[in-house]
Amino acid sequence: MPKPLKLVEPVEKPDPIKDYEPLFLSSTSILDIYWGQTCEALASCLADDMYGEMTLDDIYNRIKAGQMYCLVFKNDEGELPDVVLAMILELIIYPRLTVLNITAIGGRELSLMRDKFWKHICSWAYMNGVRHIQASVTPAMARMLKSYGFKPIHQTLRMNLTEM
């Protein structure tokens, strides 16, 4: 007689960002607490995708001057805060349209952040008068951001005059 089959209960995957929360680095004192870990999250983005447009020091100074915003997803449980993801945002004000530009994004767990926090980021932007969010990104990131609802509107081409 065959043994009866044993049903296996589904196993829920642990949420690796369960204990993380978003925080705008909105003052110099808060910025300085999280900046080291924010730099780590943004390092590969700036090295690979910024093409010499700005450095971490430039971003830091623009955040301090109120010209950019830094949103981190952090966990404060350890000795040092852990920043799983950082987004650098800036407003671009056209005569008839204000756009929130994602200047840089770096870290890990981007898809989980989307699932957990993206609608809140969009709501915050909308409540602050923004009607469009944009990002100038590499083709690989463009494919990823399509799942967020981003659609291509312009294609950026650049020519380096120092290499002619």
Render pLDDT for 17-68 as a digit per residue (tens, 0 to 9).
788 999 999 999 999 999 999 999 999 888 877 788 899 999 999 999 999 9
Residue 88 has pLDDT above 90, yes or no: yes
Report whether 137 contacts 49 (CB < 8 A). yes
Report whether 70 contacts 25 (CB < 8 A). yes
Q: How confident is the model at residue 9 (pLDDT cuts 50, 70, 90)?
A: confident
Domain ranges of the chain: 21-149
CATH of 21-149, one of 3.40.605.10, 3.40.50.720, 3.50.50.60, 3.40.630.30: 3.40.630.30
DSSP symbols for 77-95: SSSS-EEEEEEEEEEEEET
